[in-house]
Structure 1
Amino acid sequence: MSAAASNVASTGAAALPLGPLTDYLRAQGLLGDAAPQLSVLAGGQSNPTFRIDAGPSRQYVLRKKPAGTLVASAHAIDREFRVMQALQGSGVPVPRMLAYCEDGSLIGTPFYVMEFLQGRVFMDQGLPGMAPAERLAIYREMNRVIAALHAVDYHAVGLGDYGKEGHYVGRQIARWTRQCRESPLPVNAAMQRLMDWLPAHLPPGDETTLVHGDYRLDNLIFHPTEPRVIGVLDWELSTLGHPLADLAYQCMGWRIPHDLWRGIGGLDLTSLGIPSEAEYVRWYGEATGRDAAGHWDYYIAYNLFRMAAILHGIAQRAQDGNAASADAVQTGAKAGPLAELGWQAAQRYQATRG
């Protein structure tokens, strides 16, 4: 989902009760005389997202929990609001947070309102239509921003209690394993193997930073003309965690085939001007002083497992009828292939460790 996506659906906004919402926005000082116009922002599998137009200088984004029975701790829009509010003025660009409403009776579920950022959102990591130098600059900027995120003093910005410190990867494995095993939908053999293998091979050493949890190209808004991030979005999975695990989440893209889902695997990266996975990781190491090489395939395997578990949850919501996106069934079906890639990374890691 994106606060700057230009692809706007023409249906769905009518499901929101416009009268109560208008009264609320006016009470928050966000409306003038013009009546707000709502449209659905395309994209997103989790929390329904809407654009609000109420005049040239009054354009907002509303993000709410979906209706229906939800998995405990999922759809944490209150945490999204809190972390973006805490990061205002930091080295991590985020939209301004304008209002949070926990009263679910107003429009059906809790929601928040933030500023609308006019910019570019790139859905394809191959960046079609760009010159090689432009692609390189985009990847450099993505790397710079994630390094800046992991440099944030989370205590200083009021997020010292935003998550548990330490043992992040192990706790995440346990969480997503439990969620998969509690789901009525079966998981494939590779997923079963990862659920057993990952907790038995946790790398030594630990570190805690603020992590995004879903840091990838299409969750970034770039300046309309410059290769500069003006907003990082979709903080639902953010917490305190291991920075290398957070980086490896984005780097899954190098392992996922381009024709499977959001990946750049198999593309001619050199001719495109896109850095190799190793080069991208090296940039991050130069900016932060961290060295991921020793256990990199483990973190990749973990993230492919985690992503497969998330997609498995989307498939479950699609079956239950409360997925936010129309393509939830197709998206959820990718859980199995991602788990297979994760198991391949696990086997590579095990082979290098003897």
Structure 2
Amino acid sequence: MDPAGTDLASLTPLAGGWSGQTFLAGVAGEQSVVRIYADPGLRGAAAHEVDAALLRLVRGLVPVAEVLEVRRADPATGMPALLVTSHLPGERGDLLLPTLDAPARAELGARLAGILADLGGMPFLRSGPFVDGDLRIGSFWPDGQDVDGLPAYVDLATPQLGWWTPDELDGLREVAVDAQALLDTVGRVCLVHSDFNPKNLLVDPQTLEVTGVLDWEFAHAGHPFTDLGNLLRFERDEDFTGAVLAAYADRRGTPPADALALARAADLWALVDLATRRSANPVAAAADVLLREVARRRDPGAVPA
């Protein structure tokens, strides 16, 4: 497929994301996915190269689309950067999961745990965001800013949580201190998808095979339990959660209770970030509600009433 010969106005937006930059295209009877980097986000001008490199890195180990073409932005014509990939079959996990019975939810949970275990086995030497197509690692904190651990990040975010009560903020600080102590017991760094949840997963509704892991725009090198925390963030169904943790324990050796505690601790980073942007989208709003309950009860596993 040649995106230069495609009428961009004829592309069909793909549902499920917030960026509105991913489209379905059909040329000569074949479907492809075109991501247009009009707003490249945190990765800047190299965003399309990083996304392509990540797909190439994990393809064959994790179900992802094949990279068909990567095209740099053309300032002369105003054409933004493009990434063209194959179109994957399957139904979005967030639409399929509520329709499954208990055994099927457990089976899907075990399959997802296997993918998480594979991601957790892809090591890096240090944590940070990917900054270019060679997947070099940069810093999360620009301008020389040094944020050493979750408690420091909470302090940094506190001014942006103006609707929280003083008691809630105190509770969040207490939880952050304990969570960081737990996270520090794991010394490895690995590839983190960082948005690993049913909305970004494609599943064959008949076989429950995971056919695609989508949207790698937040991927980075980070803590091995970050993705597990993301997957289980709002999930309290025992059939699904129990199967995820049991299968993860079989692959990685971490007892289910320990893995869940580490997952909840690791996810606090994302919850704090989302809470500061609660008006951005429904996920951020739900994260704010969840995190406030965690802070009130001083318990990372708390569930809003």
Q: TM-score range by the shorter chain?
A: 0.7 to 0.9
**2:298, 2:80 → 1: CA distance?**
40
Long gaps (5+) in structure 1? 1-21, 256-263, 319-327, 350-354
Aligned to 1:18: none
Q: 1:177 to 1:310 in 2, by over 3 A?
A: farther
The answer to whether structure 1 residue 340 and structure 2 residue 305 are counterparts is no
**2:149, 2:71 → 1: CA distance?**
30
Aligned to 1:96: 66
Q: How far 1:25 sits from its partner (Å)?
A: 3.5
| Structural mapping, 1:254-293, within 5 Å | 254-255=235-236, 264=237, 269=238, 274-275=239-240, 277-291=241-255, 293=257
2:63 and 2:212 in contact (8 A); partners too: yes
TM-score (norm 1): 0.64
Long gaps (5+) in structure 2? 126-132, 140-146
Aligned to 2:214: 233
Q: How far 1:75 sits from its partner (Å)?
A: 10
2:71 and 2:82 in contact (8 A); partners too: yes
The answer to whether structure 1 residue 146 and structure 2 residue 116 are counterparts is yes
Superposed CA deviations along residues 57-107 of structure 1, whole A, max 9, x for unmatched, are 2x1112234549x66779945432221121122x21110112223316456
**1:44, 1:62 → 2: CA distance?**
14
The answer to whether structure 1 residue 217 and structure 2 residue 194 are counterparts is no
Name the SS for the 1:138 alignment partner: helix
Q: How far 1:174 sits from its partner (Å)?
A: 5.3
Q: How far 1:297 sits from its partner (Å)?
A: 3.4
In structure 1, give the amino acid aligned to 2:24: R
Name the SS for the 2:34 alignment partner: strand
Aligned to 1:196: 173
**1:50, 1:160 → 2: CA distance?**
25
**1:74, 1:305 → 2: CA distance?**
25
Q: How far 1:221 sits from its partner (Å)?
A: 1.2
Superposed CA deviations along residues 209-246 of structure 1, whole A, max 9, x for unmatched, are 21111111221112353211121111122111121232
| Structural mapping, 1:30-179, within 5 Å | 37-46=10-19, 48-57=21-30, 59-65=31-37, 67=39, 76-89=47-60, 91-103=61-73, 105=75, 109-124=80-95, 126-128=97-99, 130-152=100-122, 161-162=136-137, 178=156
What is the RMSD of the two structures over their aligned residues, measured on CA atoms?
Answer: 3.9
1:45 and 1:314 in contact (8 A); partners too: no
**Percentage of identical aligned residues:** 21
Superposed CA deviations along residues 4-36 of structure 1, whole A, max 9, x for unmatched, are xxxxxxxxxxxxxxxxxx97444xxxx7xx999
2:191 and 2:222 in contact (8 A); partners too: yes
1:36 and 1:52 in contact (8 A); partners too: no
1:93 and 1:232 in contact (8 A); partners too: yes
Aligned length in residues: 281
Name the SS for the 1:123 alignment partner: helix
TM-score (norm 2): 0.73
Aligned to 1:259: none
Q: 1:39 to 1:336 in 2, by over 3 A?
A: same
Name the SS for the 1:247 alignment partner: helix
